[in-house]
Each structure stands twice: as structure tokens, then as C-alpha cells.
Structure 1
Amino acid sequence: MKLLLVSPGWPKGRLWGELGFKFPSLSLAVIAAATPAHWHVALCDENVEPLDLAADVNLVAITAMTPQAPRAYEIAAAFRARGVSVVMGGFHASNLPDEALNHVHAVVVGEGDLVWPRLIADFERGALQPVYRPGAMLDMADLPVARREIFDRKGYLLTNTIQTTRGCPFDCEFCSVTAFYGRKYRERPVEQVLAELEILRKNNSFAFFVDDNLVANRRYALSLFSAMRGMRFKWLSHAPIDFAKDPELMRAAGEAGCIGMFVGFESLNQEALVAMGKVTNRADAYLEQARAFRDNGIGILGSFVLGCDGDTPAVFEPILRFCEAARIEAAIFPILTPYPGTQVRKRLEEEGRITSNDWRDYDMGHVNFIPRGMTAAELQAGHDWLNSSFYSFSSMYRRIFKLHRSVQVFAPMNFGFRSAIRRTAKFKG
């Protein structure tokens, strides 16, 4: 039996599709690991290679985020027309299973690790069900070790991605993580993580922990970082800005090889932070906290959500000046996006403020709702100006061309974002 795992391409001219550095889908490698050994498993990621719609396969499994959903449905239609069974999972299908079922034979809602063996068994006996939902959350001790060989010769920048925890104790209004993984924070046994890291070290010394909040459980994080000390990894992950309030934990992360964290600043307006549920953020402490990251050798990929109800056209320049003053090594500036399954979508729907359900534009770079403090055109223009200004040569010089160990990652990242933003602008005309 032959299984084809598919990651659909991003719509043309979108920032995430234009980035030159590509990372693989760890979730598909985990699904490959959960597939019985007598199946032949192959991967096609349209972001790095063309998809053969005439491929000789028995089953196609697609994962997609919301902006990839229209392309996922096109792929599904092509295979279904040939009589090939198609199943779909991921964030979009999990939040809109009825929509997805109009295009595929079966939908996996939520974590697929537990239900995938059952789905395969049902398929083999000709009894595929329309919806598969796990009856419980995965015990992280049972997480399969990803089959990363499916990434071979794909041209990815890095295949050393790994997951140690799932879930987030917080429930930010704009975030879809809680809806998918739940608020219960689950940790994988440290010894299992270390064993997988030993495997990864055979490839190279860089790694990316895909956890949404690697440091939510202090005791677990300290145990992991202590065990990693001396492994000589250089790694990145995600952490809240108040990670800086714990000097011991931050020092342990730096000593374990952490050179960068994705950090959600989200806003410089404290009222906006409270409204979006970002309860751990104190805007008046941002400068000091960013300095604590840098002092421990940890660079920051910051995130600032644009278009919250308290935002006006006056918000964009202060964000740029703050980033330069704090020497934020890299940043993204997503437009508030009402993704299916989020609290912000529910609120904006109730208020009649959603203007588009063209999923291709749910890429964090387009306005799909009626803002309160500015027009949609002003929000779009501010977003575009902030991106181009932040990744201008002058801003890059102010922020990253200082002696710091994270520069080895963040300097290429800045040039990569700059090139992608310029290509995106050309596509817009």
C-alpha cells in the first residue's frame, strides 16, 4: 500500500510562500511514524517541489493551515477524480470539518497521532469513516519518533525539528493553539527527548523546538536544559516575554545552547494586551526584558499583532522605534486574522465585522475585518510600511550588526525576510 503525505503550497505572492528558507512539517513526519511498516510512505511539499497529481498511490493525506486550504481542496479534487481516497487534517480542517468534508473522504479533527492507526485499519478493510476524533489527548510518552527520512533531498534549510510539549496554559484571543491542543500542558519524558536529540545530532548541531511555550513548566524546562548542557546544540524555540523574569531558567537555556526565541510582544498598549488575553505581558518592562534575553546570548524573533481595537495609524512608527531601541533581532508583524476556531473570530462574527472568508487571504498579511481605530486601507498600508522599514538596511544595521552569538542565525534571517518582502511587494504591483 502506498501513502502520499502532502503539504500544499502557499498562495502566490504571500510572505510565507516567498521565504527562501523552508522548514518541513514535523506533524507529517510523526504521521509517517504512526503508519504501519507495510505501507510505503512518501512526502510531497509543494513549497519545495512540484506535486505529481498522477502519482500511483492508494491514499493521500493532506495537512493545511487556513491560507493553504483552497489549494488543499484543489489537490483533493484532482486525486478524487482518479478514484484515490483523500483524508485531511491540521488546524483548518479541525476547526471546519464540515467544510473539509465537502472536498475529502475523511477528516482528522485535532491531534492525529492517536487516531491514525485506526484510520489506516479502517481504510484497509474498506470502512473509512468521515470523521476521526481522538477520545483523549495524547500521552506525550507515546509520541512517535518522527520519520525524518521523508525529508531527505527536499532542500529544507533545517530538518532538525523536535517537539517536547503540547498545549498552552494561556488562551489569547487571536491564537488557535489552545483550540487545537487544549490548555492542558503536557510534557514528553526528558529521557525520550534526549534520545531523539542524539539522533538529530548526527545531522548537524542546529535544532528547532516547535513547542508553543517551551518554558511553561519551569521544573520540566530546567531539567531539560540541564540535561542538554554539553550537547553543543544551537537551538531556537518559543517563549513568552516574561521568561526574562526568571534569571536562573534563562541562564540555563543559554548554557544549553539556546540562541533564539520567538516572543509574542503583540502590542505596546497595555489595554490592548489585556483585551487580547496576553496576561503575562507588561509593555513598560519590554526594554529591560529584551535586554535580559540578549545578555544570556538569546536573540528574539518578535511578534506584534496589528489592528487590535485600540490601534490607530499612530501605532506603527512606535513599534519600529521600540524594536530598534531594544535591538530586536528579527520580527513579524501579522495583521489580526480571525482564524476559524479562535475567540477573536467568534467576537468579530458577532459584531458583524468580518469582511472576507477568502481563506487565501488569511495569511496574516491581508485585512479581513473592519478595524475600529483606522480604515482597512490604513491598516494594510501601515503593515506594509512597518515590514519594509524594519527590514531596511538602516534598521537591520541598528538592530543586528553588533557582536552577539545569535547573529549567526538572525543576520541570514533578516536578509531572507527582506528578500521575501520585496518579492511580495512586486507581486502586489
Structure 2
Amino acid sequence: MKSKTRVCLINSDYRSDHRYIIGILKFPPLGLEYLAASIRDIADIKIFDNRFPEFNLDYLKKEFDNFKPDYVGISVNFSNQIFHANAIARIARDSGAKVIMGGWHPSTVPDESLSYSDYVIRGEGELVFRELIKKGSPVGINGISYKDNDTIIHNPDQELIDLDQVSPPARDLRPKISEKYYSFFGVSVDSMETSRGCPFRCKFCSIHNFYHHKYRTRSIKRIIEDLKQIKDYTKLVYIIDDNFTANKNHVNKVCKAIIGNNIKKTYMSTSRLDQVVKYPEMYELMAKAGFIFSFVGIESFSNKTLKSLNKQLKLKQIKQGIKILHDLGFIIQGNIMIGADFNDKKEDIESTLEIAKSLDIDIPTFSILTPYPMTELWEEVKSKGMLINTDWHNFNWNNPVIKYPHLTSDDLKYYLEKAYSEVRSFKRPMNKLIDLLRSRGLSFFITTFLTQGGIKSTLQFI
């Protein structure tokens, strides 16, 4: 009897100077767990998260030598992960494995990624990955790029899949040590997905292009089945959807199902402040279902700049949305871009910081406007000769890669540091606690915080 194909799946690390919200939130690599689920009947699988110090390159080399994988799949979602991914790919190839790269970055620059990998899966991976493992050859499989001798072959794009065809993620394949690391401010966290894609077309974002301008949802039945799979002791769940609140009907159905099934967990999700203003009743239902953390992209306080970014948001809505969310007991993480307008001057950024100080954003984060491949911003910056370089180390929202007419790179770095030093998180911590108690009630507060790591984690969070 032929033995099963051996597969290692690796979530690659990123540089330690990454300051964006992912430095605070470390959640499971759900995409790899979906891939594992898609092949578990035909392969022996191991999953490693290279973000854990225990799973460093030396450890992975020993694992590859002992397990002798036929394939090593590496997930690369952020561009500055590619250097870690390439290092993993080298030792995987040395062990005799074929290397498959996937995720946002390899999908946008497949030719470059094939310098270190044998195959690149462009876009969604579940069905393509399974077909490749079964067939053992990329020939004729849509959605794959590969080399035939020195010729790069890009097979046609794959069709977007029905999300209900995707098997539930293989959470049981997580190593035990993962419970030590997957957390948000010290609170244990898991992740799940209810939709893919985004109907909006922000100029700096690649999601709408990545998913061919389609937005799809999973059925409520599958969402609840998935949610019930998450262990009882994990009370905090991050909905990793690209834009969870994009469709009011979908959100309402999800929330009603959570309430109807009496699932007592707390949820974080992405959101848009214009949706908050347009559908406050949707957020009221979300609050009842247990949603408490809202990640919103503010980007700029200038209506002109917001329009140029195709954000479809205005300053008035930003202020109204923040108030509505706070009245409902949400904790808001809002991101603001430094240099959101090519024509920004120092006084424009100073004004941005002053407005940020005046708004009650619980966790303000800041990033330098960064053009990523497969975005309209990338094409514009390249066409205007404004791209400083394509060193992916610098594509981390902290380092300037755009040449501005009125601001130097040092100016942008200065204002990023100034923003983090002057615009505080939780400006009124005790008032925030009181607001949470008033809007959500004592029982919700105790269930949400004091049973997840105790008082120490609660105080650390606030």
C-alpha cells in the first residue's frame, strides 16, 4: 500500500520592527488550517508557525530532515514576510521537498516568488492545493504558476470557490504550544471566517482585485458549525473577514444565529465607520451577540484625501461612527495614515495628529501610506516615478517607499514616531471601564474579561 504524501505547512515570520496592529494581535493561521483540512485524507500533515521562537529555522531544518516532507507549503501574506519565507524555502529544498508558496504576496508577484519556490498558488488555495498534491504535477491546474526549465508558466486563473465547499479548518493539528501564543493583549484568541472579499475599492487595498471584485459569504449553518468547533475555554474570536460588515443581511443572520444558539463568546471584527452611521441597528445587534472590538480604517481626516483614496468616507461620518460604537460599548482600534495625500506638507500632518488627539479612539494605530502590488496605488506611484524602491523589507507600513514632493522620508518617520508618542491609547482608562459596565452590564464584563486571564490581563488590556 502506498504511503500518504507528507506535507509541512508553514506560516512565515515577519520582521520584529513591525508596529502595526498585528504586533499586538497574534491569531492562528486559519488559511493553512483550511489547506490542511482539504488534504488530510490524502496526506500526513504538520503545521508550524514560524512566528513562535521555538519554531525557528534550526528547528524547522531538523523537522524537515526527520519528517522528510514531499511538499512544504509556505504562507506569505505580508510582503516583508518574504525574506523569512525564502529562508524556509531554501532549507526545505535542501531536504528534498518541493516548495509551494501562497498568500497575498506571492499571488501578486509570482515570477519573483518562483526564484525560491517550485510552485506559486495564486489566490484561493484549498481546491488548487488538493489537486496539486493528488496529481503531483502543476500541468493543467488553474491558479498555479511554475517553471518549466527556465520558462515561467502561468496557468489561467482559477474560478472562485463556493465557500461551503471548503472543509472546516483543521484546528486539531495545531501544536500544543500554540495556546501560549495566540492572544490579543494576553487574552486567548481563535479565528474564524464568515466571508471573503470586499465590495469597496479603496485605492491602497488589493482585496477587491485579489478576489476578482466578488464578495461571498458562507452559509449560516457552516458558520455556526465552525464556531462550535472552537474550544470552550477560548472566549475571544477574531472574525478575519476582509470586511465583516459589508453586507447588513449577512451580519444580522450571523448575529441572530449566535444569539439563538446561545454561543457565549466575544468577537472582534473589521468594520467601516460609514456602515456604522448607515446601519446603527446592525451594530446594536452585534453588541447583543457579543461583538466588542471593532477594527476600522480611518486613514485620513481630510474629505478631499478620503475621496482620492476612494474610501467613500467623510470626517462627519468618522465622528458620528465613533460615538455610535462607544455608546454601544465597542472598543475601537482605528488606523490613520501618515502621508495619505501625496501633496501633504508638515502642517497637514500636524493637523492630522491634533484631530487624532481630539477623537476618542481607544487604540489609535498609525501607518505610512504604502503601495502594495495589485493595488491602484501601486500602479499610480509607479507610473508617476514616485516609488523609491521595491525592497520588500520596507513594505511594512513603517518605512517610506514613496517619494513625496513636500516631505522627506525622514519627515514621515519623524511624524510616525510622534504620532505613537503623543496620541495615547485609552486616554481615560477608568472612564472606559465605567462605559463598558454601563453599556454592556456587569455580567458581560465579568464573562468577557475576568474569566480570560484574570484581572492582570484586564488591567494590561485597558
Give the TM-score taking structure 1 as reference length. Answer: 0.89
| Conserved 8 A contact 1:396-1:414 | no
- State the shift of 1:321 in Å: 4.0
* Equivalence for 1:97: 110
* Rounded Cα–Cα distance in structure 1 between residues aligned with 2:390 and 2:461: 30
* Equivalence for 1:139: 162
Counterpart of 2:177 in structure 1: which amino acid? R
Q: Any idea what the Cα deviations from partners look like across 1:58-88, whole Å, max 9, x if unmatched? A: 2100011211012211211222133221110
| Conserved 8 A contact 1:115-1:132 | no
Q: Any idea what the Cα deviations from partners look like across 1:175-219, whole Å, max 9, x if unmatched? A: 121122232111100111011112225342221100121121111
* Rounded Cα–Cα distance in structure 2 between residues aligned with 1:81 and 1:379: 41
| Conserved 8 A contact 1:301-1:330 | yes
* Equivalence for 1:235: 267
* Equivalence for 1:170: 200
* Rounded Cα–Cα distance in structure 1 between residues aligned with 2:225 and 2:43: 26
Compared CA separation, residues 179 and 248, structure 1 to 2 (3 A)? same
Q: Output aligned runs, 1:232-381, within 5 Å.
A: 232-245=264-277, 246-279=279-312, 281-308=313-340, 309-381=342-414
Give the secondary structure class of the aligned counterpart of 2:264: coil
* Rounded Cα–Cα distance in structure 2 between residues aligned with 1:242 and 1:326: 16
Compared CA separation, residues 302 and 122, structure 1 to 2 (3 A)? same
Counterpart of 2:55 in structure 1: which amino acid? P
* Rounded Cα–Cα distance in structure 2 between residues aligned with 1:191 and 1:17: 31
Compared CA separation, residues 89 and 414, structure 1 to 2 (3 A)? farther
Give the secondary structure class of the aligned counterpart of 2:293: strand
Alignment counterpart, residue 75 of structure 2, candidates 51, 60, 63: 63
* Equivalence for 2:418: 385
Give the TM-score taking structure 2 as reference length. Answer: 0.83
Compared CA separation, residues 375 and 257, structure 1 to 2 (3 A)? same
Compared CA separation, residues 163 and 18, structure 1 to 2 (3 A)? closer
| Conserved 8 A contact 1:361-1:368 | yes
Counterpart of 2:31 in structure 1: which amino acid? S
* Equivalence for 2:222: 192
Q: Any idea what the Cα deviations from partners look like across 1:330-383, whole Å, max 9, x if unmatched? A: 122111111111111110000111112110111111001112442221111101
Alignment: residue pair count: 414
Compared CA separation, residues 41 and 47, structure 1 to 2 (3 A)? same
| Conserved 8 A contact 1:111-1:134 | no
* Equivalence for 2:6: 2
* Equivalence for 1:113: 126
Unaligned stretches of 5+ residues in structure 2? 147-153, 450-455
* Rounded Cα–Cα distance in structure 2 between residues aligned with 1:104 and 1:167: 27
Give the secondary structure class of the aligned counterpart of 2:9: strand
Compared CA separation, residues 21 and 268, structure 1 to 2 (3 A)? closer
- State the shift of 1:390 in Å: 2.5
Compared CA separation, residues 351 and 400, structure 1 to 2 (3 A)? farther
Counterpart of 1:172 in structure 2: which amino acid? C
Compared CA separation, residues 414 and 381, structure 1 to 2 (3 A)? farther
Alignment counterpart, residue 173 of structure 2, candidates 150, 174, 189: 150
Counterpart of 1:69 in structure 2: which amino acid? I
Give the secondary structure class of the aligned counterpart of 1:191: helix
Compared CA separation, residues 399 and 332, structure 1 to 2 (3 A)? farther
- Percent of pairs identical after alignment? 24
Give the secondary structure class of the aligned counterpart of 1:30: helix
Counterpart of 2:92 in structure 1: which amino acid? F
- State the shift of 1:169 in Å: 0.6
**Stretch deviating more after TM superposition (189-198 or 367-376):** 367-376
Give the secondary structure class of the aligned counterpart of 1:73: helix
Alignment counterpart, residue 403 of structure 1, candidates 435, 438, 447: 435
- State the shift of 1:166 in Å: 0.7
Q: Any idea what the Cα deviations from partners look like across 1:266-294, whole Å, max 9, x if unmatched? A: 10001100001101x11123222201001
- State the shift of 1:7 in Å: 1.4
| Conserved 8 A contact 2:319-2:359 | yes
Which structure's relative contact order is higher, taking Cα pairs within 8 Å and 6+ residues apart?
1
* Rounded Cα–Cα distance in structure 1 between residues aligned with 2:199 and 2:96: 43
* Rounded Cα–Cα distance in structure 2 between residues aligned with 1:319 and 1:185: 32
| Conserved 8 A contact 2:363-2:425 | no
Compared CA separation, residues 248 and 132, structure 1 to 2 (3 A)? same
Unaligned stretches of 5+ residues in structure 1? 418-429
* Equivalence for 2:44: 40
* Equivalence for 2:61: 53
Give the secondary structure class of the aligned counterpart of 2:113: helix
- State the shift of 1:38 in Å: 3.9
Give the secondary structure class of the aligned counterpart of 1:161: strand
- State the shift of 1:412 in Å: 6.1
* Rounded Cα–Cα distance in structure 1 between residues aligned with 2:37 and 2:404: 44
